[in-house]
Structure 1
Amino acid sequence: MPRITQISRRVESLDRARTFWRDRLEIPELYSFPGLAFFDLGGTRLMLKETGTRDQADILYLATSDIHADHARLAERGAVMTGAPHIIHRHADGSEEWMAFFEDDEGRPLALHAVIASL
């Protein structure tokens, strides 16, 4: 099965969204065109398309190796954190799935996601 190469997300304001993804989340911006901006999510492109309206969106889960540090860093940068890092599931091998939720610049959900190996 092929991997996902691009995700499209509609935004009300492209300028505001670019600032959020580039400056608050520190996601590398690849390029932009009138009404569109592209970011590199670890090899998957995120395409932001300006629509002038706020749309509902599915949650994007962003991988992190240190969920507590990244949660604190995002909060310091002004991201609206809606949930502290917490365990979602413990696997049979003892590894744990952790998540922490926050909002994008339009109030839509995003999440940090970490898999922590057993000690």
Structure 2
Amino acid sequence: MTANQFGAIGQLSRSVADIEAAEAWWRDVLGMPHLYTYGPLAFFDCGGVRLMLSAEAGPSQANVIYFRVSDIAASHAELTARGVVFVDPPHMIHRHADGLEEWMAFFSDNEGRPLAIMSQVRPD
């Protein structure tokens, strides 16, 4: 087993023009369980896969696949050794009220489309 073994898809993103209208539609019309909203981002639970709606994404960030990994630092190191070029090193994206941290690192596939690895970290 390698350090970067991908788990389930953790998150998918979709760009939207109006975050408030999109949040209401996905929550009230589709009935998706709303997790939280953070600025121009709204998050929903889609059967264990998190959907992020983003009013700030540009065309290159319109749709991103985020893969869960158990150890983001080890996964980053292993993928880098295999030739993956990351936009930046793993970094904390968000800290929830209960202290749980969301860490991510972004890279591109062989055709230049965005991908990411993600991990939830509970600080000691």
TM (norm. structure 2) is 0.50
Measured in 1, the distance between the counterparts of 2:116 and 2:99 equals 22
Indicate conservation of the 8 Å contact 1:93/1:118, yes or no: no
Matched, 1:82 2:81: no
Measured in 2, the distance between the counterparts of 1:93 and 1:66 equals 20
**1:118: how far off?**
3.0
- Paired amino acid for 1:91: H
Partner of 2:103: 98
Question: For 2:112, what is the secondary structure of its paired residue?
Answer: coil
Pairing 1:1-119 to 2, within 5 Å after superposition: 42=8, 58-119=63-124
- CA RMSD of the aligned region, Å? 2.3
Structure 2: which 5+ residue stretches go unaligned?
10-59
Q: Displaced runs of 4+ in structure 1, greater than 6 A?
A: none
- Count of residues paired in the alignment: 70
Partner of 1:4: none
Structure 1: which 5+ residue stretches go unaligned?
1-24, 28-40, 44-55
Could you tell me the percent identity over the aligned residues? 50
**1:82: how far off?**
1.1
